Structure formats: structure tokens, C-alpha cells
A and B are shown apart, each in its own frame.
Chain A
Amino acid sequence: MLWISLKFALRDFKLRKFASALTIIAIMSGLAAFTALRIASVSMEVTAKYMVERALAGEVIVYGDGLLDLSELALPDFERIPGVKRVVPLVITLGYMRGSMVLIVGAKASDLQFVVENYVAGGGFNASDEGVAVLDQVITRDKNIGVGDIVLLKPQAAKAAYPLRVVGVAYVSLEIQGMGSAAPYVIVPLREAQHMMEKEGYVTLAMLVLDKGVDPERVVEMVRGEYPNAKIFKREDILKVVTKVVSLIDTLLLAVTFIGLAVAIMGTANTIMSNVREHSREIAILRALGAKGSHVALIFILESLFYGVIGGILGVGLGVLGAFSSKDLIREMGMPAFRLQIEWGTLLVSFAVAVLVSVGSSIYPSIRASRISPVRVMKNE
């Protein structure tokens, strides 16, 4: 029967070129939007998680009490908590460099790995270095600054500007400057930052890097036990919030693409329904010759499957192209840039949606077709 159904469907498909093309276009366009937005949302989610994980190297982040900074005296207490592998103290403040706002990050030389992903030029600083800085490649590109140059950095709260020698240009993959008010990084030694801020002995926050398998909640409870007024965040909580926001965006985007998919469903159902009407006599002939209802239904499901497979392949291809365009568009709109995550899973899901849309929309017409009585073959004589 598959032979008959395939021939019937294929020849009908060829004969009704215009209707077939329109149906394929309907599926293709609906699916292209779905694929593009799916890729974009997966990419955004992955990028957002990556950004959070990179920005927050530690699983637990401890701030001081209210507006106050955290005393360095607390750091050994944190180090003593079982399961805490490392404590990374950071001073973070805003400043200006060559007329642009920058994010000053004070870090120990030994903790640079938690702030910088890789160096584009030069390298990090040593614990004994003074008056040095590692700059974000964004500002070095914009301001034409190179390794060895002397730059003036003025923290927002300080009265004076400090000359710094650039020892390295870093690639900060998270490009956090794209997020709202955040600005390019200028990384200086921790002591240097404390000195600039006139806050020796204090840090803005401490990131606690935990041993594998340690429950962050337990560490949070222990920190809270000793420092009840400290503000404590878990990275997983921040990740949850980010995931929630991305999911919300994802849901909204999906809702939009469902309109396109609904058009594809209606278009396919309409084409198959009109095929059934047009072939009602031939269906009756087949039934009279001994075809079962399921045989007849198979013809139209197969025909619909052709539309789905062709529309699916074209739609997925077009969707990938669309995702590249949407990436550029999102960047132009000033939103955070993201790396496109084109995964086989996403493409397969999109293709499966095309197949489901096409086969699903053929169910009702196919049932109608299977119910055509063989007696009609005589009545229409």
C-alpha cells in the first residue's frame, strides 16, 4: 500500500505545483521564524549563564553590611569555613579614563584568573607591582592604548587621577559593558584600588570558590552565622533569576512564532482538505477496489509529510540565516551581544516541529478522506 500511497501523493504533489509551493512557503516561513528565535533564545540563555558564571567565579558572594564595605579581617574567617576552596576579594568601583566611564576592579595578582579570561597583549601583574593596570581590549581599541602606555585613571570618589602603566590587554569574553550601565574594565592590584578609594583594609565583595560537591546553602548559613548583617548571594540564585528572565523572553518569542506556525497549520490543513475534496471520487474508487480507510488516510498523511519535510528543510536553513541577522540586529539595538549557539538539537527540534505541524494538520482531512464511502463511486456516475 505504501507504493500506492507514495505514487498518489507524489504525483498529486507534482500536479498541484502552485498549491504545493504555497503550502511549503507557509510551513517554511513559520518554521524559519521558529528556528531563528529558538536559536537566538538558546544562544541568549547560554550566553547569559556563561556571563554570570564568568562574572561570578565563586559560588557564594558576600558583600558588607548595607552600604558598608567588607573588612579584610573577615576573609580568614571565610577561608576557615569547611568546603571553601578559595576566597577572592575584589574592590569594584566606577572611574574615568580618557573621558570614558570604566569599571575599576581591584584584584590580587593571584586572583587575576577569576577576572580575566585571556590576554590579547602583554599579561597580568605581579603581587609586588605598583602603578600598573590590565585594560579591557574594548577601551584599548577605542582609545588607541597599547601595552607600555601610561594612562590616567580617576576613580569616581577620588579627588586625584592616578597614572598607571598598562601591562596587559585582556579579552573579557563576557563583554559585560554591553549590559546597561556597565563599562569596560580596568583591572588594578587590590592594594592600588584600596589606596585610590582610601579604603585600605576593606573590599567591596568576596567571592567564595567552593570545593566540588559542596552545598552553597550550607556555606551561606555558616557565613550568616558569623556575619548576620552581611549581604550574601548564591550564584545559583542569580542564575535562576537570569534563567527565569531568559525563559520569559523565550516564551514571548515562542508565542510570536506560534502565530506563524498556526498559519502553517491552517495552510497545510486547507491544502490537504481541498486535495481530499478534489480526489473524493478517486478515494471512492480506491475504497471500492478494496483500500481500507487507513490506506486512504496514509495517502494524505504522506502528502502532508512531503510538505513538512521540504518546508522543514528550507525553514531550518532560512531560520539559521535569520538567527545570524537577528544577532546583528540585537547588537545594533544596543542589547548584550551573544554567541550564536547552533546546536543539532535545536535544528532537530525545528525539523520535528515542521513534521508535526504538517502531519498534525493532515489528521482531520485524512480522517474525512478515510470515511468517504465506496458507494460514491456509483452515485457520481
Chain B
Amino acid sequence: MSEGREEALKLVNITKAYQMGEQTIEVLKNVNLTVKRGELLVVMGPSGSGKSTLLNIAGTLDRPTSGKVYIGGVDVTGMSEEELSIFRCRHIGFVFQSYNLLRNFTARENVMIPMLLSGIYNVEEARERAETLLSIVGLEEHAEKFPSQLSGGQQQRVAIARALANDPDVILMDEPTGNLDVRSASNVAALIVWLNRVFGQTFIVVTHNPELAKISTRTIYIAGGRLYSEPPSGLLSVKIGNEVDSLRLRNAQIKLLQVKAKSLLRLIKSGAATPQIEREVEEIEKRIADIAKLIEKESR
């Protein structure tokens, strides 16, 4: 039991499969992950690797096909939707790439919402705590502003304050710096580190930004629905090489240009041509000739 309390999140043999017609696609394959309290775990992986699905399942937004999810030592796998709502509210914080603040609510009100939803605090208490949380993220001056009146970096800091609202076991972040400029991204990253070191807040940050890996206490990698402690070979490399059929691509390019030239010539014949269109036709003919020469050269 004491071990359970030390674990902010534990995923045991998690598999997630989707049915596409007759085909079954396994997005997560027997994933096991334990995140201890106070960790700042960065999960890196390219698009389509299953990292969002992992985050959804870890955050109880989605259910695994098989396996078990423990948050703060509690098995949440069999909980009903209503039970999950309450549990999510009190034990998990979320920070999303596009901030996801409620646009009709001020910064303070956005931070108050999870506290009011938890049923623990009344409006006054929630307001007081929200103001403290906003001062922690350096936005006490902006409490009355609506999201549209805040910069991206400020909105993300409000989102972090909101995620902290109910002292969650774990804060899950999905590309928290994905929509930010370099300076704002750096500020947000610094805030995450600070909250982790000073508050001991547990974070799981999913990203494909290698810069964020530098702030982690541990980095893991996800590819093809599996977790790796080291980057799997070729995870982030771009493969452009011999397997690309250059002849086929050049022929396709010629075909595209020919269709365009034909369409432009039809316009010239109908009398709708401008000098610019005539110049464009000449340009296309020249490009087709150049590509043909290149093909001839490569085939020798």
C-alpha cells in the first residue's frame, strides 16, 4: 500500500485497439509505465505513435481495451463515467496544447472551475485559492481578463494554474509549448520545472519537442504503440533515400505540368489570356524540357 501511495500513476499491461471495419488497429501494445510522485516525465514520440492515446488513458478520458490504470494508488479501470468525472476532477490536472480555457470566463474563473466542480470548495474559497494560484504563475494582475485578452504564454500559465487547482496527483500535459513562441515556451518550461522542484508536483509531458526533454527528470519514448527507455533507432530521423522512386515522381511532375499547360492554352484560345498567362505557358514548357533532360541524364 505504501508503495502505491508513492506512485502517482501506474499503467499495467495497457492495450488499446480500434476496430476499423474488419481490421483491428492496436494503438498501444502492452504498455507498462510507473510514474513516481515528484517525477517530471517527458514522453517523446512522433505523430501517430500513440502518445495522445496514452495521455487519454492515463487521464481517464478514454478506457483501455485491456490492462489496468492506477492513479495515486487507486484502480480507476472499472469506474463508471460519473465516478471518473469526480475522480478526474480531484486527482488529475490537464494542460493542453491549445490552452483550452473557457472563453466566456475570466482567468480567475477558469482556475476556480475545477475547485467548484470538486464540490470541496465554496465560491469564496475557490476565488481565494484561484488568486493565490494565479500569483504563483505570475498572473495576479490578469485575474479579471478573459482568455482573448491574454497572450498564448499567459493563457498557458492560466491553464497550469487551473491544472494545479485541486492539488492533483499528476498533471498531464499535451504539447504544452506547441503553440508558443520561443520566449513564452521557455517561460512555461521554466514554470513547469519550478513547480516540479519546489512543489514536488508530478508531471507527465507528452511532446515531440526535444527541447522539453532537457527539463525532465526522466524521458521515455513511444513509437508504434510501445514505450522505450532509449530512443528507438530512426525514431526522429527523416527517411528520404533510395526507396523513393525518383523516376516515377519526375514523370508525375511532368504530367501535372502538362495538364496545367493544356488548361492555360485553352484559356488563350478562348481569348481570356493575359500576357502573364502566355509567359506562364512558356515557363511550363521550359520546366518540362528541363525535367525530361534530367530523366534522360539519370537513365544513362
Contact = CB atoms under 8 A, between A and B. Distances in A.
B82 interface: yes
Given A4-B116, A7-B109, A290 B89 contact: yes
A72 B114 CA distance: 90
B118 A377 contact: no
Interface in A282-311: 282, 285-293, 295
In this complex, the member of B55, B86, B89 whose beta carbon has the largest number of chain A beta carbons within 10 angstroms is B89
Interface string A360-379: 00000000000001110110
Given A4-B117, A290-B90, A377 B102 contact: no
B85 A378 contact: no
B284 to A, nearest CB: 39
A3 interface: yes
Interface stretch (B92-100, B129-137, B190-198, B268-276): B92-100
A281 B101 CA distance: 10
B117 A290 contact: yes
Contacts of A79: none
Given A288-B59, A288-B88, A292-B85, A381 B96 contact: yes
A286 B59 contact: no
A67 interface: no
Contacts of B56: 375, 378
A118 B260 CA distance: 99
A377 B100 contact: yes
Contact of A378 (B61, B86, B105): B61
B128 interface: no
A3 B102 contact: no
Nearest to A371: B81
A196 B174 CA distance: 105
A329 interface: no
B114 A378 contact: no
Interface in B198-238: none
B102 A282 contact: yes
A73 interface: no
B52 interface: yes
B94 A288 contact: yes
A255 interface: no
A378 B109 contact: no
A4 B114 CA distance: 10
Q: What is the interface residue range for chain B against chain A?
A: 20 to 34
Interface in B65-99: 81-82, 85-86, 88-90, 94, 96-98
Given A282-B103, A288-B88, A292-B85, A378 B55 contact: yes
Given A289-B114, A290-B114, A7 B86 contact: no
Contacts of B89: 289-291
A373 B88 CA distance: 14
Nearest to A376: B61
A1 interface: yes
B94 A289 contact: yes
A7 B88 contact: no
A324 interface: no
A12 B61 contact: no
A11 interface: yes
Interface string B172-199: 0011000000000000000000000000
Contacts of B90: 290
Nearest to A282: B102
B85 A375 contact: no
Given A285-B100, A290-B89, 9 more contacts: A1-B117, A3-B116, A8-B105, A282-B103, A286-B117, A288-B88, A293-B82, A375-B62, A377-B96
21 contacts: A1-B116, A1-B117, A3-B116, A4-B113, A4-B116, A4-B117, A7-B109, A8-B105, A282-B102, A285-B101, A288-B100, A289-B113, A289-B114, A290-B85, A290-B88, A290-B114, A290-B117, A291-B117, A295-B117, A377-B94, A378-B52
